[in-house]
Structure 1
Amino acid sequence: MTQQTKYNMVKEKIIEWITSGKVRAGEKIYSESNLVKKFGVSRHTVRLAIGDLVHEGWLYREQGAGTFCSGRKLQNKLPENKSPNTNTKNIGVITTYISDYIFPSIIKGIESYLTEQGYSLTFACTDNDIEKEKQCLQSMLNRNIDGLIVEPTKSSSYNPNINFFFEFEQSKIPYLMINQFYPQLVPPHIIVNDQKGGFIATEHLINLGHQKIMGIFKADDLQGVYRMQGFIKAHRENNLTLSPELIINFSTEEQHHLLIDKVKKLLLTSETMPTGIICYNDQVAISVLNCLRELNLRVPEDISIVGFDDSFLAEATETKLTSVTHPKIELGIQAAKWIVSAVENQNIKGNEHSIVYEPELVLRNSTGLVKNDKLITT
């Protein structure tokens, strides 16, 4: 028997186990050693066969655990008039973070609707790390999900993981991007108009008389890029000279200590002291508030601050933050409705049914008027 014949025999036998139900979705198959003994072939032949079955979607590997039946191919072979058991429908949800900031509210919205519709959920987070995103996407492909809701990772530059989304498309697994999206894919998405958010936040301070405004923006996510665009646009439309030294960009890796060090250094050394600060989000705004206290600068008497997302943090401190709204729970619900419709109808394509929320500004006491070089709270 030639190696090619042995190789095909191993493949066909494993496929027979899967299609007959001897090995079910999620169950582990025999180890390489057992398969070598069972079929009387070389380990190389077994590895070739297993590798092919993984590539074709019959099996998936979990590092350190073994090789498992995916069930995806079997599901795709169901007759057209026979739908899979709705109890087995599973939606994957990948966000950059899960347990903090606005993400619990978004996930609550997703979970409430999907659970009501009888769907199960598989959660994962990337910590805004490209390698972790790769692992999450591979895991979702292996877990036989029916649809995917995903918040992209470091979306402002080319992402090397977009090939996974082509695999979802080839497998007819619908996916939806939230909060931001990969522009290379032009995918369906639900986002906030971040440029408008940056614009209305900045124009609010300009209307209060501020002319020297610091902008703090995240550089590796599109949200930060668009919010910065709004910041710049507001200066231009109000014929206000922009001070480039007052713009601070930061990366995911810098968002804690290094970012505040940058802010503190600028406030201590710049010849242009800002009277207002636009922050990428409320988390950054809270960190800046703490920094200003250390420098004995008062908010809003010395410096006004605007946050973004109108999160619970906006009212968590003595100084209540003026902040740009984010739909949070509503966005989660709409994302869940979209993915259910896509799974059940399979007629949603491209960005035809994308949603863009228009943000508003919620005024609190972290901003005030500039008058005679002093601030008057509103």
Structure 2
Amino acid sequence: MSSKNKYVQLYNTITDRIKNGDYSVGDKLPTELDFANEYGCSRQTVRQALAKLESDKIIYKVQGSGSFISDSALPLKKTMRIAVITTYISTYIFPSILRGIETTSTSAGYSILLKATNNSIAKEHDILENISAHDVDGVIVEGTKTALPNPNLTFYRSLADSNIPLVFFNGYYPQLLETKHSNILYVVTDDYQGGYELTSDLIRKGHTSIGGIFKSDDIQGMRRFSGYMDALVNNHIPVNDEHVLWFNTETKFGISQQLSQSCLPEECTAVVCYNDEITLQAFELINFQNKKITALRSFDGTISPQQCNLDFYSLQHPKEILGLQATKKLIGLMNGDTEKSTVLSWE
């Protein structure tokens, strides 16, 4: 763990102890040396944590006397704020998801602190570093590049350890679910089943050479590919590596170029696409160059069949319902209720 992560973790531990009543307003905190010995960290780490506590007006220092709990620490008992961390905000399916979150939060008396990572691990780090028990009562979050190892899991664990519940939507980090935390949940769509159903539909229509375009750096892409692959295998159709095109966050706007350089458009009669954003790029190339492909299948339901002159279908994403469900579960956790993760069917 980096020294920066250590002081944030200590900061969250102290705020958690304030919320639990271990320290009250006016109480004197242990010395730097006492904290360092208790938590097995350096005095520099303690000094940084105390400096952040003072900056957030949770404690105040008296020269020659020590650090004391401030009156401003009282809001730690309830901020009535929810942090919402999403990859993007204003494009594609996200406004509808956020509408579900906002409607449910507002009706329960909560305000929203909205942040976007742009699917950047570095940006996610900066956001998480500045969120604490002093700021919010809970967090709704879409994981960043969830198929990859992530250096920010320590922040999430620290928040959970500080009794800040976390509800992930769309994508989550499986490693966090392997811990003892009962206040980390997810609400997602059944991406495996979606991939399986779309591919099976194409097979029923007589297609035996079916390509796929999938995202490699998030858990949704991997599970949609897994469903696609199993549908082929279960119908005794070989999986051809050359018929699967992979992209990631940084290359997602170059699908047309990738397709033009692959054999997929020349050898496949149908393609399962990761989502509608990718489908539009694929369709543009297919339509322009009159490729062999006659059918497309996709996810999210933002394209009408009239926009595509091929055999086309896109599963409807339960966008607003997903946001509503995630928020309801978070509020339940914040109220001390027992909640479980949910996998939503495609509409």
Q: Indicate whether the TM-score tops 0.5.
A: yes
* Contact residue 197 and residue 230 of structure 1 kept, 8 A: yes
SS in structure 2 opposite 1:69? coil
CA distance in structure 2 between the partners assigned to 1:182 and 1:75 by the alignment: 37
CA distance in structure 1 between the partners assigned to 2:298 and 2:261 by the alignment: 21
Alignment-derived partner of residue 58 in structure 1: 53
What's the CA shift for 1:317? 2.5
Alignment-derived partner of residue 233 in structure 2: 236
CA separation of 1:70 and 1:113: change in aligned 2, threshold 3 A: farther
Tell which structure's C-alpha radius of gyration is larger: 1
Amino acid paired to 1:295: Q
* Contact residue 282 and residue 314 of structure 1 kept, 8 A: no
What's the CA shift for 1:169? 1.6
TM-score by length of 1: 0.71
CA distance in structure 1 between the partners assigned to 2:244 and 2:259 by the alignment: 10
What per-residue deviation string (whole Å, max 9, x for no partner) do you get for residues 188-244 of structure 1?
110111110000010111110011111000000000000000010000111112222
Does residue 292 of the first structure (1) align with residue 283 of the second (2)? no
What's the CA shift for 1:316? 7.6
Amino acid paired to 1:317: Q
CA separation of 1:147 and 1:239: change in aligned 2, threshold 3 A: same
Alignment-derived partner of residue 114 in structure 1: 105
CA distance in structure 1 between the partners assigned to 2:71 and 2:230 by the alignment: 51
CA separation of 1:118 and 1:265: change in aligned 2, threshold 3 A: same
Does residue 226 of the first structure (1) align with residue 223 of the second (2)? yes
CA distance in structure 2 between the partners assigned to 1:93 and 1:326 by the alignment: 20
Alignment-derived partner of residue 152 in structure 2: 161
* Contact residue 144 and residue 218 of structure 2 kept, 8 A: yes
CA distance in structure 1 between the partners assigned to 2:259 and 2:138 by the alignment: 42
Say which of 328, 340, 344 aligns to 1:353. Answer: 340
Instruction: Please give the root-mean-square deviation of Cα atoms over the aligned residues, in Å.
Output: 2.9
TM-score by length of 2: 0.77
CA distance in structure 2 between the partners assigned to 1:263 and 1:332 by the alignment: 34
Say which of 195, 199, 213 aligns to 1:198. Answer: 195
CA separation of 1:332 and 1:70: change in aligned 2, threshold 3 A: farther
What's the CA shift for 1:143? 5.8
CA separation of 1:315 and 1:145: change in aligned 2, threshold 3 A: farther
* Contact residue 70 and residue 142 of structure 1 kept, 8 A: no
Alignment-derived partner of residue 265 in structure 1: 261
* Contact residue 194 and residue 227 of structure 1 kept, 8 A: yes
Amino acid paired to 1:338: K
CA distance in structure 2 between the partners assigned to 1:263 and 1:155 by the alignment: 25
CA distance in structure 2 between the partners assigned to 1:342 and 1:74 by the alignment: 28
Give the number of equivalent residue pairs: 293
- What runs of 5+ residues in structure 1 fail to find an aligned partner? 1-14, 21-46, 60-66, 361-378
Alignment-derived partner of residue 306 in structure 1: 297
Percent of paired sites with the same residue:
33
Amino acid paired to 2:242: E
* Contact residue 57 and residue 73 of structure 2 kept, 8 A: no
What per-residue deviation string (whole Å, max 9, x for no partner) do you get for residues 228-264 of structure 1?
000100001111122220001111100002x321111
Alignment-derived partner of residue 326 in structure 1: 317
What's the CA shift for 1:126? 0.7
Question: Which portions of structure 1, spanning 4 or more consecutive aligned residues, are displaced by more than 6 angstroms?
Answer: 73-77
What's the CA shift for 1:294? 1.8
SS in structure 2 opposite 1:307? strand
* Contact residue 181 and residue 189 of structure 1 kept, 8 A: yes
Amino acid paired to 1:286: L
CA separation of 1:144 and 1:272: change in aligned 2, threshold 3 A: same
What's the CA shift for 1:339? 1.0
CA distance in structure 2 between the partners assigned to 1:276 and 1:227 by the alignment: 16
